[in-house]
Amino acid sequence: MGIVLDKFSNNWFNDPVRLIWYLIAYLPVGWPVLKRAWKGIVSGNVFTEFFLMGVATLGAFGIREYPEGVAVMLFYTIGELFQDAAVLRARRSIKALLDVRPDVVTVMQNGQAQLVKAATVAVGAIVQVKPGEKVGLDGTMRSESGTFNTAALTGESVPRTIEKGESVLAGMINQQSLIEMDVTTPYQDSKLSRILKLVQQATGRKAQTQEFIARFAKIYTPAICGLALLITLVPYFFVADYQRDAYVFRDWLYRGLVFLVIGCPCALVISIPLGYFGGIGAGSKQGILFKGSVFLDLMTQLKTVVMDKTGTLTKGVFKVQEIIPIGIDAGKLARLTAALESKSTHPVATAILAYAQVQDQEKGYESISIEGVEEIPGHGLTGKVDGKQMLAGNAKLLQKFGISFDDSLTMNPYTVVMTALDGQFSGYFTIADEVKSDAAEAIKRLKADGIYTVMLSGDKSAVVEAVAKQVGVDEWHGDLLPEDKVTQVERLKADLSINPKSKLAFVGDGVNDAPVVAMADVGIAMGGLGSDATIETADVIIQNDEPAKIATAVAIGRATRQIVWQNITLSLVVKGIVLVLGAGGLATMWEAVFADVGVAMLAILNAVRVQNLKF
């Protein structure tokens, strides 16, 4: 509005009305910057970008170029808002959001079940855990046995059967029957509590990357201020004695202030945050969330990518890989086994049921007669199916009933469900966590970018090795606890420490991954199925759980950095030319403004371009 009045009103829009009008526009955007500049001066850090903004805009007001003073501060403030918004919206309190431990547990007191705060439960108390509930404290199994989902805690893809007297850890999920356990560890010292503590410690070790504009300003700001001062004062000493009356301080002060305003990095402070903002937008279109522009830069420096197995490279869902019948038709074996497994809620049973439905939709297992089904914990199922006595379970089940089978099956890295009919071995099913369709492509793309790939997992080493060979990672390790993953990542980071610009990323999805996600230079979480702890700790989130998006994130980071440096180069080159013209008195204030705004517009258009690129 002030610029419009400047243009069309020549009668009343003069000082002091004009000054007051522009001051009203200036203070909301300028005061916070001036305040931060003053704090920098008081603390001894004088030449900051805030100082440059303050001197440049106050100088513009000093020579009565109010529109430029307001515009420069407004553009700077908008740029800062763009830069901060992505981080502030995505980052929340880790402490508040990481704590996924149950607040209350069911404690048995005098034969009665009572809800008690988990933090107040004493060691030795008896805790009851219902099916589907998460265990809130570490303890030992009091009941005969129970089946637990431990994927979030250890990364194991196969649910674990825990017998009486064995350890139960906080964070496990009871999958089947009601169980009781004896508490052995205080709430604050449980396994899950230690994991959360590792996350907080790792977050504290994460290096804070200084923004480019702050580093640049340490050189650029004093240089521009010094040159402006020299332009104002030095000509006095080069004018001959008889010509010194020709030296008019106001004229050279005006030229110095023009130089100062020209030196204001308006195009830079717009192009840098908007370039990164465009990169963040491009990531969003691909289902990738970057929690701040710094992580776009770090993606370009990745030399090692470490990945979890379950939920990252695999789906975390059981699927029958093959069926090997012995003396029976494969379809019939599938139907008979599915009929028996229909009486179980175990995930392995669910996989066999799904397989039977897909393989033989016309002849369903539902019509097969089933009698006397018994589940033997940690072994499998027995029952009479279609008039035949049938067994379906692991090697221990068949050994229990004296049925012989090929011993090599016990060496299979995957889950093997063996079957027997009327005392005779009748074949087996191989069941495994299915590898994601784009996992191998993801590894191939990362390798093509010169990135070393590593897989770490709490699953059995044999399973990890089989998956590693299938997808093609360079290095793999299995049977790892959360602490072991931290040790491995620390080792890999130490190997990269020779080159400070070589960075490491960790990709995971479970609570057990949160510590290493936090301590990595770039923490990447699978956001679709990942735990809240890992997602909130991560710096980059793959929202659709596709591992190939890791390579896409690297490509977006590189394209964004290239565009940002194009903008920086354009801005500095044009700025340098106009500064020379301004120092020589060949460029007026409005010419400088035109050149600066023109460059800023080109930088904005270039920044937007990243969102239209194909990755």
pLDDT digits (tens, 9 = 90+) for 538-552: 788 887 778 999 999
Same fold, 102-189 and 316-434: no
pTM over 0.85: no
Backbone angles phi, psi at 139, to 5 degrees: -170, -170
The CATH architecture annotation of domain 316-434 reads 3-Layer(aba) Sandwich (3.40)
d(Cα 516, Cα 484) in Å, to the nearest integer? 10
Question: Between the ranges 56-65, 78-87, 516-525, where is the mean pLDDT highest?
Answer: 516-525
Whole-number pLDDT of residue 99: 47
What's phi and psi for 444, nearest 5 deg? Answer: -60, -45
Classified as helix, coil or strand, 274 is helix
Tell me how crowded residue 285 is: count the other CB atoms within 10 A of its CB: 11
Looking at residue 243, what is its pLDDT?
A: 59
| 426 contact partners, CB below 8 Å, separation of at least 6 | 325, 326, 327, 328, 333, 419, 420
Burial class (CB in 10 A: 0-12, 13-18, 19+), 172: buried
- Please tell me the CATH code under which domain 298-314+436-557 is placed: 3.40.50.1000
Q: What is the mean pLDDT of the chain?
A: 79
Judge contact between 326 and 425, C-beta under 8 A. Answer: yes
| SS3 track for 470-526 | HHCCCEEECCCCHHHHHHHHHHHHHHHCCCCCCEEEEEECCHHHHHHHHHCCEEEEE
Which 3 state secondary structure label does DSSP give 160?
strand
The C-alpha atoms of residue 585 and residue 582 are separated, in whole angstroms, by 5
SS3 605: helix
Residues 215-272 have pLDDT tens digits of 666 677 778 778 888 888 887 777 655 555 667 776 777 777 767 767 766 666 666 7
How confident is the model at residue 389, as a pLDDT? 93
Phi-psi region of 327 (alpha: psi -120 to 50; beta: other; left: phi over 0): left
pLDDT, one tens digit per residue, over 448-482 is 999 999 999 887 788 889 899 999 999 999 888 77
- CATH class of the region 102-189: mainly beta
- The closest alpha carbon to 162, from 173, 152, 153, belongs to 173
Catalytic residue status for 308: yes
Q: What is the pLDDT of residue 587?
A: 67
The sign of the dihedral angle between the CA atoms of 444, 155, 350, 424 is positive
Secondary structure (H, E, C), 555-601:
HHHHHHHHHHHHHHHHHHHHHHHHHHHHHCCCCCHHHHHHHHHHHHH
Q: Which of 138, 297, 308, 539 is catalytic?
A: 308
**Integer angstrom CA distances of residue 106 from 93, 116, 277, 291:** 29, 6, 48, 38
- CA gyration radius, the chain: 34
Q: Is 550 exposed, middle or buried (0-12, 13-18, 19+ CB in 10 A)?
A: buried
Q: For residue 440, is pLDDT > 90?
A: yes
What is the per-residue DSSP string for 46-91?
-SSHHHHHHHHHHHHHHTT-HHHHHHHHHHHHHHHHHHHHHHHHH-
Which of 140-144, 519-523, 529-533, 537-541 has the weakest average pLDDT?
Answer: 529-533
pLDDT at 575 over 80: no
Spans of all domains in the chain: 102-189, 298-314+436-557, 316-434
Q: What are 323's strand-pairing partners?
A: 429
Determine phi and psi for 129, rounding to 5 degrees.
Answer: -125, 120
pLDDT score for 183: 94
* 541, 226 contact by CB (below 8 A): no
* 8 Å CB contact between 107 and 99: no
Which secondary-structure segment (H or E) carries 420?
A: strand 415-421
574 burial level (CB within 10 Å; 0-12, 13-18, 19+): middle
Token representation of residue 305: 């990518």
The larger pLDDT score, comparing residue 10 to residue 352, is at 352
Choice between 427 and 608, residue whose per-residue pLDDT is larger = 427
Measured CA to CA, the distance from residue 152 to residue 157 in angstroms comes to 9
Q: Which residue has the tokens 């709430």?
A: 187
Q: Residue 601: left (phi > 0), alpha (psi -120 to 50), or beta?
A: alpha
Between CA 183 and CA 200 the distance in angstroms is 25
Distance between CA atoms of 386 and 351, rounded to whole angstroms? 21
SS (H, E, C) 125-156: CEEEECCCCECCCCEEECCCEEEEECHHHHCC
Distance CA 550, CA 283 (A): 11
Q: Span 107-129, mean pLDDT?
A: 89
Residue 508 has pLDDT above 80, yes or no: yes
Confidence band for 510, pLDDT divided at 50, 70 and 90:
low
* Per-residue pLDDT at 206: 36
- Three-state secondary-structure class, residue 341: helix
